[in-house]
Chains A and B, each alone.
Chain A
Amino acid sequence: EAGVTQFPSHSVIEKGQTVTLRCDPISGHDNLYWYRRVMGKEIKFLLHFVKESKQDESGMPNNRFLAERTGGTYSTLKVQPAELEDSGVYFCASSQDRERIYNEQFFGPGTRLTVL
């Protein structure tokens, strides 16, 4: 079974440009999460999808970030325009049915974003 995949693995852009990150969750996983780790600090939650709907986007830093999940499958996270403080590693995770008490989140390898 394929794991969570993310594309690209690395992205280097200049301040003011736009970048789109993609996450493909494990097939059949309704829950999809985005997290990021900025400058060696804690990994912080950004948002959570249940299928195609945003369940919780309380961690999104500002309106320069836009997340979508087309048809409840893959998800994209667009940063427009990118700022220096957006540099970091963006992780995606997916999990199965949220009705279960415990459902493990499986993580992708992350996308390292560098904004110059």
Chain B
Amino acid sequence: AQTVTQSQPEMSVQEAETVTLSCTYDTSESDYYLFWYKQPPSRQMILVIRQEAYKQQNATENRFSVNFQKAAKSFSLKISDSQLGDAAMYFCAYRSLYNAGNMLTFGGGTRLMVKP
């Protein structure tokens, strides 16, 4: 079974600064997806960014980028030019390509606080 670990329960960043959230995972599979989801307070979880394991190039979405290290099984999220609206719970998630159900395996989450 796959596991996902987020070692930082809480992080804080100054507005306009850069912050990196860590995620490691364990799997014996070679093909899979990795995701970062964001859940603002009292709102639904939304997908921030995804990475296909077969792609060597790190995914980027505007101010959000990942550092995907497949051999190390590491998948960190970098948020550049942090904004107050980035304050949220961030969940790292894994999805197997071999499981027909496509369910997600999540880490424990990192609460990001943004200081004005």
Residues of A within 8 A of B (CB): 3-4, 31, 33, 35, 40-45, 48, 55-56, 59, 91, 95, 98, 101-105, 107-110
Contact = CB atoms under 8 A, between A and B. Distances in A.
A35 B104 contact: yes
Given A107-B45, A108-B44, A42 B4 contact: yes
Contact of A45 (B33, B104, B108): B104
Interface residues of B, number: 23
A48 B4 contact: no
Given A107-B45, A108-B44, A56 B101 contact: yes
B44 A31 contact: no
B47 A104 contact: yes
Contacts of A44: 106
Contacts of B103: 33, 45, 48, 56, 59
A95 to B, nearest CB: 7
A102 B100 contact: no
